[in-house]
Amino acid sequence: MMPKKFLCSIFASIAVSSLLMGCQRTEQRTETPPFGSLAQITSISPDTTQVLRSGEQVKLKVDVSHVLTAESGTIKLVVLAADNSDIAQGSEAITKGTGKSTLEVEFKVPSTTVIRVFTPLIVQGQNSTSLADGRTFEVVSN
């Protein structure tokens, strides 16, 4: 005969396992882009070693290499201040395969400490983006 303490722990384990299995969703829908889709910054002008000055006008040019495994998508260029406020955006529609895009935006540098530049890849029909490649510029007061 099994000890009573051992039987109680077996029943407790079975009960917890049953409860956890009942909580799992059988239909799990992912909102991530299809496997293999990505975008990577290959060059940026001005160079990120250049310190930007608040108040100056900047023409930002970003070259992006991308791989898209879905039928279509969009490469975005997002420029944000240190507080995540939007400074500028650009975009280009792309189709399945490998390619290169050049995105350009012009903006006046706001009073901030840094400017962050991101290039997310958005796959048509998806609610999320791929991991976005990014770069940062230091900003000084004018």
How far apart, in whole angstroms, are the C-alpha atoms of residue 141 and residue 113?
8
What is the model's pLDDT at position 36? Answer: 66
DSSP string for residues in 60-122? EEEEEEEEEEEEEEEEEEEEEETT--EEEEEEEEEEEEEEEEEEEEEEE--S-SEEEEEE-EE
Q: Tell me if 59 sits within 8 A of 38, measured CB to CB.
A: no
What is the model's pLDDT at position 10? Answer: 44
On whether residue 81 sits in a domain, the answer given is yes
* Domain residue limits at 105: 38-140
Tally the C-alpha atoms within 13 A of residue 16's C-alpha that lie toward its C-beta: 6
How many distinct structural domains can be found in the chain? 1
Q: What's the distance, Cα to Cα, between the start and end of the chain in Å?
A: 84
> Residue 54, Cα to own-chain centre: how many angstroms?
26
On whether residue 86 sits in a domain, the answer given is yes
What is the model's pLDDT at position 37? Answer: 82
Residue 65, domain CATH: 2.60.40.10
Sign of CA dihedral 139, 135, 71, 30: negative
On whether residue 121 sits in a domain, the answer given is yes
How far apart, in whole angstroms, are the C-alpha atoms of residue 30 and residue 126?
9
Residue 81 or residue 25, greater confidence:
81
On whether residue 29 sits in a domain, the answer given is no
On whether residue 4 sits in a domain, the answer given is no
How far apart, in whole angstroms, are the C-alpha atoms of residue 67 and residue 38?
5
On whether residue 32 sits in a domain, the answer given is no
On whether residue 44 sits in a domain, the answer given is yes
* Predicted TM-score (pTM) of this structure: 0.72
pLDDT digits (tens, 9 = 90+) for 30-73: 344 445 688 899 999 999 999 999 999 999 999 999 999 889 99
**pLDDT beyond 50 at 19:** no
Q: Tell me if 60 sits within 8 A of 88, measured CB to CB.
A: yes
How large is the average pLDDT for residues 114-121? 95
How large is the average pLDDT for residues 113-124? 93
On whether residue 23 sits in a domain, the answer given is no
